[in-house]
């Protein structure tokens, strides 16, 4: 017999390491297991905890079971020798399925941010029966060759005809110095990371440095190897699938995007929504390429509305 639990008890995360193709992935589950599942998929080099507790709490209060997890090479999940065990976005999508399988979730509302949005799109194409709804947040269309666009931008070459815009120059400059040498300590690490978060956040909404400092400190202190996350740049460099495949997606789709996103300017959101049949596009005024706590309720309410419909 299932033990009776109070609403507050369901707000306490239940952590578990789960198997995924010879690796172990850290997962955390909230909410009543009988409620509809929302799988939160974070972006490149980011940990599951970077889905703010405020978003999780609001989703649970709205009657959802919420799962967040660390990708391979991030947080408490297994790290990989990429030269010996290279992987792609398709493998990261398989990891997401492994999380659902291990936690007994046959189907889920998939919410992906940045690279997580691409992973969600991939799942909606390859495993439509597992995806109840899709929310692509601060992302771009499946199959976009961002690495090539970035390379041309850094060389000063014009974009190709029809190519989506590259990340803004100030972001490319910040990314170049976002990771100090591996022997650096915590304070040097934070000093290198905070300028990147300032650019990613955008220039419209107030920037709370203490919020980002606390988030980066937590991520650094719980990571098996903070530098292993750089492998995600290698994994994402090889496009997987094509934008045309999104025409086959049957899951109701929502595209959420910030008007000030410096990583994927708004044209990426418009292209994603155009490629997903019947997708709804919602632009969030002032938001950049981060999830500040000030937007927790707004983002969660959008997700709740979409996953209810």
Q: What is the mean pLDDT of each run of 10 residues along the chain (309 residues)?
A: 53 92 97 97 97 98 98 98 95 98 98 97 98 98 86 80 91 89 88 96 97 97 95 85 96 98 97 98 98 98 95
Print the SS3 string covering 237-295. Answer: HCCCCCHHHHHHCCCCEEEEEECCCCCCCHHHHHHHHHHCCCCEEEEECCCCCCCCHHH
Burial call 182-220: b when 16+ CB within 10 Å, e when fewer: eeeeeeebbebbbebbbbbbbeebebeeebbeebbeebe
Which residue among 70, 95, 261, 296 is the active-site one?
261
- Is residue 153 within 8 A of residue 168, CB to CB? The reply is no
Residue 152: what pLDDT? 81
DSSP class of residue 297? H
- Distance CA(71)–CA(50), nearest Å, equals 12
Strands 23-30, 65-69: pairing kind: antiparallel
Strands annotated E in the chain: 14-20, 23-30, 37-41, 65-69, 108-113, 131-137, 253-258, 280-284
Which residue among 109, 257, 289, 306 is the active-site one?
289
261 catalytically annotated: yes
Query: What 3-state DSSP class applies to 22?
Result: coil
Residue 1: what pLDDT? 37
Helical pair 53-61 and 296-308, crossing angle rounded to 10 deg: 40
Q: Residue 65's beta-bridge partner residues?
A: 37
Residue 160: what pLDDT? 84
Residue 157: what pLDDT? 80
73 catalytically annotated: no
Q: In sequence order, which residues have a C-beta less than 8 Å from that of residue 163 and are 6 or more positions away?
A: 149
Q: In sequence order, which residues have a C-beta less than 8 Å from that of residue 62 and are 6 or more positions away?
A: 300, 304
Question: 98 to each of 93, 111, 243, how far by Cα in Å?
Answer: 9, 16, 24
Residue 9: what pLDDT? 65
Residue 126: what pLDDT? 98
Q: In sequence order, which residues have a C-beta less than 8 Å from that of residue 4 and are 6 or more positions away?
A: none
Q: Is 143 left (phi over 0), alpha (psi -120 to 50) or beta?
A: left
- Is residue 308 within 8 A of residue 70, CB to CB? The reply is no
Domains and CATH numbers, the chain: 7-308 (3.40.50.1820)
Which residue among 77, 78, 94, 114 is the active-site one?
114
Phi and psi (nearest 5°) for 14?
A: -110, 105
Residue 7: what pLDDT? 52
Q: Residue 37's beta-bridge partner residues?
A: 65
């Amino acid at each position: 017999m299932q033990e009776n639990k109070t609403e507050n008890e369901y707000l306490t995360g239940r952590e578990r390491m789960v198997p995924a193709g010879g690796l172990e992935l850290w997962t955390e589950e909230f909410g009543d297991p009988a409620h509809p599942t929302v799988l939160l998929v974070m972006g490149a080099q980011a940990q599951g905890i970077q889905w703010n507790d405020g978003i999780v709490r609001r989703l649970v209060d709205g009657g959802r079971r919420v799962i967040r997890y660390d990708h391979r090479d991030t947080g408490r999940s297994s790290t990989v020798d990429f030269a010996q065990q290279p992987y792609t976005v398709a493998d990261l999508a398989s990891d997401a399925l492994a999380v659902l399988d291990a936690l007994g979730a046959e189907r889920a509302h998939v919410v992906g941010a940045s690279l997580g949005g691409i992973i969600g799109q991939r799942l909606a194409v390859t495993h439509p029966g597992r995806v109840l709804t899709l929310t692509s947040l601060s992302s771009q269309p499946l199959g976009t060759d961002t690495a090539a666009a970035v390379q041309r931008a850094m060389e000063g070459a014009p974009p190709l005809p029809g190519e989506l815009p590259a990340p803004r120059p100030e972001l490319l400059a910040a990314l170049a110095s976002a990771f100090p040498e591996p022997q650096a300590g915590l304070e040097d690490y934070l000093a290198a990371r905070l300028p990147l978060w300032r650019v990613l956040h955008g220039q419209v909404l107030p920037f709370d440095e203490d919020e980002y400092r606390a988030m980066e400190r937590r991520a650094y202190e719980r990571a098996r190897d903070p530098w292993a996350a750089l492998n995600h740049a290698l994994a994402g460099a090889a496009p997987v699938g094509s934008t045309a495949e999104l025409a086959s997606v049957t899951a109701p789709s929502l595209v959420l995007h910030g008007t000030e996103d410096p990583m994927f300017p708004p044209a990426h959101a418009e292209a994603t929504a155009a490629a997903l049949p019947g997708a709804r596009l919602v632009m969030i005024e002032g938001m950049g390429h981060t999830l500040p706590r000030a937007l927790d309720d707004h983002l969660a309410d959008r997700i709740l509305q979409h996953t209810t419909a």
